[in-house]
Structure 1
Amino acid sequence: MAITPIKTLVENAKADIRTLSQEEAAEMVAAGEALFVDIRDPRELARDGRIEGAFHAPRGMLEFWIAPDSPYHKEELATDKTLILYCASAWRSALSVKALQDMGVENIAEMEGGFGAWKKRGAPIVTE
């Protein structure tokens, strides 16, 4: 049995999820309609910085932090706002949005290009 290539998994996920442009995502957050959720590893945040105000939910804990019946549930993620997930390059975020949609989360999207594209275009970041 062959393992499905990761690019195929990401492409399949992106076909089923909502992807917002960087500008649209930032506007939604600024308007109070959305919350940025940074799913990168803590070492990435320390090394590369982060988007101010983003909630950090490491990829490995995301489903546990979202699920209301989980002992690890985070109230910050139980919101009517659209959760806009991002990682470094929008691969992990695509898979994560698909996984959360499969759990029944409806107010969910990813940000096109991820943090790498955010930083490259000169959008504001916070560093430690």
Structure 2
Amino acid sequence: MKRESVDGKTLETWDAQELQDALESRDAVLIDVRSPAEYMLGHVAGSLLMPMPDFDAKALPEKGKKRLVLMCGSGMRSEKMARKVLAAGAEQVAHLDGGFGAWKEAKLPHVAVDFPTGGQKAVNQD
């Protein structure tokens, strides 16, 4: 995990395995900032959708003991929104380096469209 100080606050950049470990141990809440269409095509199970055009840092769930981690397709939008979260007053937030693309490249479990049926299917799930 990389850490960057932003005006005395902490922006963390996580890799896909760090996020997977935190989700498995229930230590993180994942916020997906992609569009609803992108989310429908594939997403991490349990992630919450808050599309970038409607993103409101003050509307994020209270993190409590869990870490807030933002994700997009490549890591660019999530970093931008993470900086917005810090500017809105949060002391710490994280985002996924490489976004959902990195998650899929790491062959981690997710939900994707099953094109023949139009439904959804689990991918890379044990």
TM class, shorter-length: 0.7 to 0.9
State how 1:45-56 maps to structure 2 within 5 Å: 45-47=39-41, 49-56=42-49
Counterparts of 1:83 and 1:54, CA distance in 2: 11
Higher relative contact order (Cα pairs below 8 Å, separated by 6+ residues): 1
Runs of 4+ in 1 over 4 A off after TM superposition: none
Equivalent pairs, count: 105
State how 1:75-114 maps to structure 2 within 5 Å: 77-80=61-64, 81-114=66-99
Higher helix proportion (structure 1 or 2)? 1
Check conservation: 2:20, 2:108, Cα contact below 8 A. Answer: no
State how 1:1-128 maps to structure 2 within 5 Å: 16=6, 17-47=11-41, 49-63=42-56, 66-67=57-58, 73=59, 77-80=61-64, 81-127=66-112, 128=120
Instruction: Provide the secondary structure at the position in 2 that maps to 1:126.
Output: strand
Deviation at 1:15, TM superposition (A): 7.2
Higher strand proportion (structure 1 or 2)? 2
Give a deviation string over 1:89-123, Cα, whole Å, max 9, x none: 00000111011101111241001110011112211
Extract unaligned runs of 5+ from structure 1: 1-13, 68-72
Instruction: Provide the secondary structure at the position in 2 that maps to 1:35.
Output: strand
Instruction: Provide the secondary structure at the position in 2 that maps to 1:18.
Output: strand
TM-score (normalised: structure 2): 0.75
Instruction: Provide the secondary structure at the position in 1 that maps to 2:34.
Output: coil
